[in-house]
């Protein structure tokens, strides 16, 4: 499993997260040292984050839903985004990664 995937599994909050969550995106960029495109406001655009979410979803570690931005929509923003959360398989894998980290210390 790649560093990016492991980081996501360890850090996705219980309520889920999407690519517009600025704090989460900033932490991912910093911790995983990935390329991004600065924006004038809101979360930076980070294609690696979106691709990693999609891979973990296809691999069965994440559940995915849609958030309609509705009345909060502004030009330059999508009208909806996927929101990702850990499913049972993802939670189990997260616990395993945490256990490995604990044993390594």
Its domain, for residue 79, covers 3-104
Closest Cα partner for 64 from 78, 80, 76?
A: 80
pLDDT tens digits along 25-72:
999 999 999 999 998 877 899 999 999 999 999 999 999 999 888 776
Q: What is the spatial distance between Cα 9 and Cα 93, in angstroms, rounded to a whole number?
A: 8
Q: What is the spatial distance between Cα 57 and Cα 22, in angstroms, rounded to a whole number?
A: 21
What CATH number did the domain enclosing 69 receive? Answer: 1.10.10.10
What is this structure's pTM?
Answer: 0.87
Percent of the chain residues topping a pLDDT of 90: 68
- Please give the tally of structural domains in the chain: 1
Strand-pair partners of 92: none
pLDDT tens digits along 88-98:
999 999 999 98
């Amino acid at each position: 499993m790649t560093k990016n995937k492991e980081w996501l599994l360890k850090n996705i909050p219980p309520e889920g997260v999407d690519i517009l969550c600025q704090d989460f995106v900033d932490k991912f960029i910093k911790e995983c040292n990935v390329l991004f495109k600065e924006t004038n406001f809101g979360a930076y655009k980070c294609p690696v984050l979106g691709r990693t979410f999609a891979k973990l979803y296809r691999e069965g570690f994440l559940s995915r839903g849609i958030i309609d931005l509705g009345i909060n929509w502004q030009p330059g923003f999508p009208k909806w985004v996927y929101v990702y959360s850990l499913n049972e398989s993802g939670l189990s894998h997260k616990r395993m990664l945490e256990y490995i980290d604990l044993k390594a210390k």
